[in-house]
Amino acid sequence: MKPKGVLKGVILVAVALVMAVALFVPGCAPAAPTGGVIKVGVLHCYSGPPGAFGREGTNGFQMGVDEINAAGGVLGRTIEFTTRDTKFKPDIALSMAKELVMMEKVDILVGTMNSAGALAVSEYAKGEKVPFIVWQSQSERITGEFGHRYVFSVVPNTRIWGKSIAEFEAKQPYTKYWTGGDDYEYGHAIDNAFWRYLKQLKPEVEEMGETWWKPGEPDLAPYFTAILAAKPEAVLLCPGGASASNVWKVAKTTGLAEAVHLVIPVNMDNTVISAVGLEGAEGVLSNTNYLWYYPETRENMAYVKRFYDAYGGYPGFCAFSGYTTAYWIKAAFEKAGSVDIEKFIDAMEGLKIDSPVGKIEMRAYDHQVIAPIFVGVTKRVPEYNVIQADIIATVPGKDVMPPIEEIKKARGEL
Amino acid sequence: MVLPDVLPDVLAYLPAISPGALVAQFLVGLSRSMILFLVASGLTLILGVLRVINFAHGSLYMIGAFLGFSVFSMLGSGSTGFWLALLVAPLGVALLGLLMERGLLRYIYAREHLLQALLTFAVLLILGDLVKLTWGVGWKSISPPDFLTGSFLVFGLPVPRYNMFLIIVGFLVAIGLWLFIDKTRMGKITRAAAADREMVGTLGINAGWVFAVVFVIGAWLAGLGGALIAPTITITPGMDIGLIIEAFLIVIIGGMGNIWGALLGALIIGLAHSFGVLFWSQFSIVFPYVIAAIVLIVRPSGLLKSTW
């Protein structure tokens, strides 16, 4: 046995294994040829802990696209999409965006979960004059400081999340707060927005301290027991990714939810909270922009049933973003009456569409969606084996939008 | 942020910490140490005896958690499901370990470490994708039986009951490992193989068989770690990567191939993390790495005797 031959063999095996792995990565299949189609390039994360959100968002989009195509498409064309896995990394999101535009010749880019990725793709889309619809990244800078003609956001941003919940928290009797969450842009951005408004509404509140853990930290118990040791009256937690779900569980097992008044913005989303079954904390103040069980309107119930029949689960806010994205695209092309991209952008500005939660609007100035926010308090619902929310208010979108002056200031236009 | 700026804040905070907080933090840190020990002891055993750097060890831990979830949900998500998950999942992972050792690793024992690392790294990628194909990307969770949920009070501060359970199981496994290695014939052969495997072969003992048994035990420990931690975390693809880094850190601190080194390393890392969070939370992430760096400078071969 010659060593050289063996080495060659090992290298061959290694190459074969790498190729085998590459086959499993979603989105590597060659796209169908164009012709009478509107091509959409979807950038989303299907890897690691955030993959749960990614799969659901693309499922929602798929369902919307299928419905639109079955009803005759848009301007006589069908919508087709190709998707790429960003692996939650900004550099991969950007290179995949370039590949989709240059090689796949997509007309519209959609997606991203990671805000840094959204900002990178947005900058590229601006240069290429390709519309980019952001459906899950929630940094307020996407349509604020770094907004431009070609980028749209169909999901509430961190500022909207923080403001909509701070207004309800201000009515609570607590003044001594502790804050914490996943130590990255998203977590800190929600915390900042929350504090900005809570301080404004109730100047006597005091932040005793902060506890931030690395994103995806599996072991939250020592953080929560340390917070308890400081004896705050209320705690604000801003988790993301896989910890989003885990906080519900650990807040219960460590007794944090019972010992203090707990506020966890955004995370009463179904995908996040249903993962822990009945093991989630109760009595927690939270908010979201979509719930499958509220409002109980005909439109929402019909949408939930279609989604459940198609994917065997209840839709969360990612599916809602994906689903409405398909309808934003359809409505804008129909309003434009043409597949011209500049006309598509003009049509998107100020556009209103019907959604499972009612009419939603694309604000013309900053391209940020105006949609209702639901605020609620969590409770056990044994018949579904989950924690759900008692909705205490539906905040109209226009009440929590950043004022145009604020956007102008952030962009240096004032 | 400069150190002298924040130091007064930290010192001012110290007297405010109650004994209850110290005990709660100690117990929670200890429970984390036990999980780390289960995984790292398997890793170090394989490293010591097989001399293979097994990157896929974290994948075995992840599969333990996912298998545990499958058993748990198939049996109606009750307490029977929980106990059977703890029993079946590690055995399933041990079986996978056997396939891995007999099917792949045994062909590369004579090769250089770089090639071995390449192979186990490839297995990590493959298992990661297989987990995604089998269980999907959704988040999963296991609930422990009622008497293990919730918390009890220590000096007025709550400590999760399940974490106490982890500490007990961790100690039982440590004692079991000690009995196996020190008191059984198989354990003696294992120790001999770690010290000098050619000699073991010369004595007429089938070294290949010893390697297979050791790898299976290592895989079982990783699977047990995954199944045990499942109720305290959200089970997701990607949970393998974070843990394998910590496990390697522990193995290096403790001395490569030394099981008691792994126990010591796990205690240091787990407790440093949990007390780090209490005293100085914004820097708690770096404590384990700082300790590893100090150990490597002072004792490059680890705290206890390395078998390498």
Cα B271 to its chain centre, rounded Å, is 15
Between CA A414 and CA A409 the distance in angstroms is 5
Taking the C-alpha atoms of residue A414 and residue B302, their distance in angstroms, rounded to an integer, is 61
pLDDT band at A2 (very low <50, low <70, confident <90, very high): very low
Question: Residues A91-116, buried b or exposed e (16+ Cβ, 10 A)?
Answer: ebbbebbeebbeebebbbbbbbbbbb
What's residue A10's pLDDT? Answer: 46
Nearest CA in chain B to A48: B238
Measure Cα distances from A352 to A70, A327, A371 in Å.
22, 10, 10
Structure tokens belonging to residue A313: 């689960």
pLDDT reported for residue A154: 97
Say what the alpha-carbon torsion angle A286, A287, A288, A293 is, to the nearest 10 degrees.
Answer: 80
Which comes out higher in pLDDT, residue A71 or A10?
A71
Query: For the segment A171-194, what is each residue's pLDDT rounded down to a tens digit?
Result: 999 999 999 999 888 889 999 999
Provide the percentage of residues in chain B whose pLDDT is more than 90: 44
Residue with tokens 């942020």: B1
Give the containing element (helix H, strand E) for A187. helix A185-201
Segment A378-393 shows an average pLDDT of: 90
E strand or H helix at A191: helix A185-201
Partners of residue A285 on adjacent β-strands = A263, A377
How high is the pLDDT of residue B3? 53
Q: Do B281 and A279 touch (CB under 8 A)?
A: no
**What is the spatial distance between Cα A110 and Cα A95, in angstroms, rounded to a whole number?**
14
pTM of the model: 0.83
User: Would you call B156 an interface residue with chain A, using a CB distance cutoff of 8 Å?
Assistant: no
Q: In angstroms, rounded to a whole number, what is the distance separating the alpha carbons of residues B222 and A130?
A: 48
Return the higher-pLDDT residue of A98 and B7. Answer: A98
- Which residues are bridge partners to B72 per DSSP? none
Segment among A71-85, A94-108, A140-154, B232-246 with least mean pLDDT: B232-246
> With the C-alpha atoms ordered B197, B202, B205, B209, is the resulting torsion angle positive or negative?
positive
Q: Contacts of residue B61 in chain A, CB cutoff 8 Å? A: none
Spatial distance between the Cα atoms of B54 and B244, rounded to a whole number of angstroms = 9
Higher pLDDT, A298 or B50: A298
- Percentage, residues of chain B above pLDDT 70: 94
The C-alpha atoms of residue A287 and residue A267 are separated, in whole angstroms, by: 7
* Per-residue pLDDT at A396 exceeds 90: yes
Instruction: Please report the pLDDT score of residue B134 as a whole number.
Output: 93
Token pair recorded at residue A209: 């301290």
- From A46, A245, A254, residue closest to B151, measured CB to CB: A254
Question: Could you tell me where the beta strands, DSSP code E, fall in A50-146?
Answer: 78-85, 108-111, 132-134
A14 pLDDT tier (thresholds 50, 70, 90): very low
- Min Cα distance A14 → chain B (Å) is 7
A63, two tokens? 């369902």
Cβ within 8 Å of B, A 149-168: none
CA A167 to chain centre: 22
Q: Which residues of chain A does B282 touch, with a Cβ-Cβ cutoff of 8 Å?
A: 210, 212
Q: Which residue has the higher pLDDT, A344 or B19?
A: A344
Q: Report, as an integer, the average pLDDT of A286-300.
A: 94
Contact map slice: B 205-264 vs A, CB within 8 A: 229, 232-234, 236-239, 241-243
Three-state secondary structure call for residue B256: coil
Residue B263's pLDDT band (cuts 50, 70, 90): very high
Q: Cβ A226–B278 below 8 Å, yes or no?
A: yes
Q: How far is A337 from chain B (nearest CA, A)?
A: 39
* Minimum mean pLDDT range among A52-66, A187-201, B275-289: B275-289
The per-residue pLDDT for A22 is: 45
Can you tell me the distance from the alpha carbon of B257 to that of B41, in angstroms, rounded to the nearest whole number? 8
Structure tokens that stand for A317 in this block: 């806010």
Compute the average pLDDT of residues A369-389: 92
Residue of A nearest to B118 (CA): A14
Mean pLDDT throughout A141-148? 94
Which residues of chain B have a CB within 8 Å of the CB of A246? Answer: 233-234
Confidence of residue B228 (pLDDT cuts 50, 70, 90): very high
* pLDDT > 70? residue B290: yes
pLDDT tens track for A195-248:
999 999 999 999 998 999 988 788 899 999 999 988 999 999 999 877 888 999
Higher-pLDDT residue of B260 and B242 is: B260
Beta-carbon separation of A275 and B118 below 8 A: no
Question: What pLDDT score does B12 carry?
Answer: 57
Rounded Cα distance between A249 and A398, Å, is 34
pLDDT by residue (tens digit) across A81-94?
999 999 889 999 99
The pLDDT score that the predictor gives to residue B11 is: 57
Residues of B in contact with A47 (CB under 8 A): 132, 137, 237-238
Tell me the β-bridge partners of B159: B152
Count of beta carbons in the 10 Å neighbourhood of residue A283? 12
Residue A181 φ/ψ, nearest 5 degrees: 155, -165
Q: How far, CA to CA in Å, does A321 sit from each of A28, A137, A153, A156, B72? A: 24, 11, 10, 10, 32
The CA distance from B76 to B142, in Å, is: 11
CB proximity under 8 Å: B 270-289 to A: 273-274, 277-278, 281-282, 284-285
| pLDDT given for residue B4 in this prediction | 55
Residue B147: name the closest of B91, B229, B231 by CA: B231
Across chain B, what does the average pLDDT equal?
Answer: 87
pLDDT single digits (tens) A15-50: 444 444 444 444 433 333 345 899 999 999 998 888
| Closest partner CB to B157 (pick from A25, A229, A252) | A229
CB atoms within 10 A of CB B92: 21
Q: How confident is the model at residue B154 (pLDDT cuts 50, 70, 90)?
A: confident
Q: Is the pLDDT of residue A124 over 90?
A: yes
Task: For residue A22, give the amino acid letter.
Answer: A
Q: What is the dihedral of CA B78, B82, B88, B90, to 10 degrees?
A: 160
On whether any CB of chain B is under 8 Å from the CB of A278, the answer is yes
A314-342: per-residue pLDDT in tens? 999 999 999 999 999 999 999 999 999 99
Whether chain B has a CB inside 8 Å of the CB on A11: the answer is no
Tokens 């996978």, located at residue? B96
Helix (H) or strand (E) holding A393: strand A386-395
Residue B153 has pLDDT above 90, yes or no: no
Cβ atoms of residues B64 and B95 within 8 Å:
no
On whether any CB of chain B is under 8 Å from the CB of A314, the answer is: no
Average pLDDT across chain A, whole number: 89
Instruction: Report how far residue B43's alpha carbon sits from residue B169's, in angstroms, rounded to the nearest whole number.
Output: 19
Q: Do the beta carbons of residue A369 and residue A396 sit within 8 Å?
A: no
> Nearest CA to A263 among A294, A230, A232?
A232
Nearest CA in chain B to A279: B143
Q: Is the pLDDT of residue A52 over 50?
A: yes
What whole-number distance in Å separates Cα of residue B259 and Cα of residue A336?
69
3-class SS at A354? strand
- Is A255 in contact with B150 (Cβ distance < 8 A)? yes
The secondary structure of residue B15, as a DSSP letter, is G
CA count, 13 A, side-chain hemisphere, B153: 5
Q: Please compute the mean of the pLDDT values over residues A121-149 and round it to a whole number.
A: 95
Catalogue the E-assigned strands of chain B.
151-154, 157-160
Interface predicted TM-score (ipTM) of this complex, two decimals: 0.81
Contact: A229, B137; criterion CB under 8 Å: no
Contact B249, A257 (CB under 8 A): no
Query: Which has more confidence, B155 or B130?
Result: B130
Which residues in chain A touch residue B118, judged by CB atoms under 8 angstroms apart?
10, 14
Q: Are the Cβ atoms of B138 and A55 closer than 8 angstroms? A: yes
Contact status of B18 with chain A (Cβ, < 8 Å):
yes
